[in-house]
Amino acid sequence: MIYFENYIIKTGVEKFGAVVGAHSCIGANAVLAPGTIIFPDTNVERLALIDQIPK
């Protein structure tokens, strides 16, 4: 499942990676939690931990 705004999106799969928008940059050794949404033109710094927080 992915949590987005006030919605729960069922992916229908047991394991799901991250959704990365166009022209985004993910730094070296950054960690994206499963189900994380990275919006277009986002820069994730190296060594960052991006966690999906359920609402």
In a domain, 38, yes or no: yes
Closest residue by Cα to residue 34 from 17, 50, 19, 49: 17
In a domain, 9, yes or no: yes
Tokens linked to 47:
């060594």
DSSP type of residue 50: E
Q: What pTM was estimated for this model as a whole?
A: 0.73
* Number of folded domains that form the chain: 1
In a domain, 55, yes or no: no
Per-residue pLDDT of 2-55, as tens digits, reads 877 888 888 888 888 888 999 999 999 999 988 888 999 999 999 999 987 654
Domain, as residue range, for 13: 2-50
In a domain, 6, yes or no: yes
